[in-house]
Structure 1
């Protein structure tokens, strides 16, 4: 595939909606065909015919039966039990340089073990576990694709066995393996005896085309898996000044400064103005209340919807919302439904500069997403097409609809995740 002539845009969908959101897109001839890929709920136009997903070469249950089953151990200390004075005064916030992979995901380096084994990982605010592929996946079960670096615990003098099974669900399968303990280093900060996952089962199409090895969890530990995250361990060990991390995300191939994850605080170099804060409505999830979602054309509000929750999710590249509201919003933008793909709309490429911002109103403050972030432009040698990056999802009757704000939202706002105060802060990004 010739990258200069065909822009490879990877669309990311949440796991609960991707399976039925884009079933059989009618994008033949002049349009690229779609193939699903499953890492952080991903979909990519590949410019070749749609192929069925390959099943895992071994049943999920078989390796799990071979793993030692234990009850998860509970952490001895939780961040929300610590007062502000408990955090060290001499520790400093650390920046982690991130690489932008076609606006689809952002990854950065970590090392595990002694000597350190290097991995590129994407940073996921929606999950708590950090995992990388295990060398045992190839040797014992042969289910890990040949696209990854693999952790070899036999090569690490600081490795400690754990053996507990773990699993993480995605829409086209599950990542599964066992927990281990070793030193994990990020940006010069080392978490000793850190629990992480060695993955022996990874969906065959996970991370296709992305130079990414695993996941670095930045979510909250919960009752099912109470091992502390790497971030929580760094705070507990006194290596970070506060239980805060922040993202600055650039636009791909834009000439903007490199993307940065700041651990332990914020970096004023990447934002302007004051933060708008939203307090969490769920204790173990980056979820908050939004007043309304609206289209704005200058000072005029075109249309608005009220009464929903939102989740900030760095593992989702787009914006996903309730089907009826998203359909109405995209129709107001002049979008046309893509045949066979509920919730997906094509927009007129010639009108992109005239499209209004989409505004998420939080505590009376408007958080705007411009068309440069919510429109996905796909270029071929003799054709182009534009898709709305705001996708619709249907919920079951017993589910509460919410908005999932992914990377296309986060690129416009420097986003602060404050675990200590259970809040998220938004400040305008310096681009």
Structure 2
């Protein structure tokens, strides 16, 4: 099971290459600055502003806060290359990455793809304004392959029906006035147990590896499945476990044991269900990559809606260029990646300037 998905972005003239997480839980692109001496910066590729002919400082400092990590950076306007196209956009060069949250990461920075708090930071808004794509839509196909580092595909400007059947797609409206991909989760079902959360708020977050929920509900799920309090289970009985069903918009989205159990050694497996460390602005559930990889996921900025479409049995290996922007995703499935994203990155909270 892949636990980190990332792709390449180039910034500056001449272009400087970085590996970034495409994160639907945040709305800003940032990469480490050459002036950053935090341990997390020193182990990553760093942006050198003096080497770029197109660097335009904006004289603003931005702070990005995650659950157990944070980033402080300088805003600038630069030439950015993504998926074979180039555009002029805003990014932050991180001058501080305190803590240990990003030390084990297989990426340099993060490209935010949430509903924008400020439209000028939105990659989609900029691409539409510059006539690079026609529609404000992003879609993801996340692979689960344990043996390959090819993590899937992100498409900007639409979706690819080669990966799913358009006949059975159902859209989920984003909650009113939401600045993140928030929607209503009706309930969660395991065996004959229904965890009723009274239409609680959930988000779809490609920046999180795992599934977070209220502590009492996660404990109940683990107990019902026979998984111990730390989330570990003998791999021999993995396939005997029950499915876990998420009910969204009166439709059932089902995870099998192979979807929610990760093998970390020949005998030991671990669940992808984690207790939410603390409430986040009313959000009770975070459905990360462990959930999203089961489906073809569409984020529609125009209509403010999400779709989790059932994947086809045989998906294409070739990309058919059609005027949209395609980005191949790399991936990592190490235990270190799993622990990093379940404990540190998790969810974007806010930007302050």
- Fold-level match, TM-score > 0.5? yes
The equivalent residue for 1:388 is: 271
What displacement does 1:143 show?
5.9
Matched, 1:113 2:6: no
Q: Is 200-209 or 370-379 further displaced after alignment?
A: 200-209
Cα deviation, residue 221, structure 1: 2.2
Distance 1:379 1:144, change over 3 A: closer
Report the TM-score, using the length of structure 1 for normalisation. Answer: 0.67
Q: How does 1:233-244 map to 2 (within 5 A)?
A: 233-244=126-137
For this pair of structures, how many residues does the alignment match? 310
CA distance in 2, matches of 1:128, 1:239: 19
Structure 2, gaps ≥5 residues long: 314-353
Q: Based on CA coordinates, which of the two structures has the bigger radius of gyration?
A: 1
Whether 1:373 aligns to 2:249 is: no
| Structure-2 residue corresponding to 1:363 | 249
CA deviation after TM superposition for structure 1 residue 402, in Å? 1.5
Residues 211 and 393 of structure 1: CA distance in aligned 2, closer, same or farther (over 3 Å): closer
Distance in 1 between residues matched to 2:106 and 2:40, nearest whole Å:
15
Distance in 2, Cα, partners of 1:115 & 1:279: 41
CA-CA distance at 1:129 after TM superposition: 0.6
CA distance in structure 2 between the partners assigned to 1:251 and 1:244 by the alignment:
23
**Change beyond 3 A, Cα 1:236–1:417:** same
**TM-score if structure 2 supplies the norm length?**
0.81
Cα distance in structure 1, aligned partners of 2:159 and 2:303: 15
1:232, 1:243 within 8 Å by CA — same for their partners in 2?
yes
Name which of 258, 267, 272 aligns with 2:160. 267
Equivalent of residue 229 in structure 2, options 324, 337, 356: 337
By how many angstroms is 1:203 displaced? 3.1
1:23-172 matches, within 5 Å, as 103-138=2-37, 145-172=41-68
Unaligned runs of 5+ in 1: 1-101, 339-344
Q: Which residue of 1 aligns with 2:317?
A: none
Determine whether 1:276 maps to 2:170.
yes
* Structure with higher RCO (Cα < 8 A, 6+ apart): 2
Partner of 2:78: 182
Distance 2:242 2:141 in 1: 24
Please give the alpha-carbon distance, in whole angstroms, between the structure 2 residues aligned to 1:136 and 1:255. Answer: 35
Change (3 A) 1:268 1:257: farther
1:322 maps to 214
SS at match of 1:135: coil
Deviation at 1:208, TM superposition (A): 3.4
Question: Partner residue of 2:308?
Answer: 426
Q: Distance in 2 between matches of 1:317 and 1:271?
A: 22
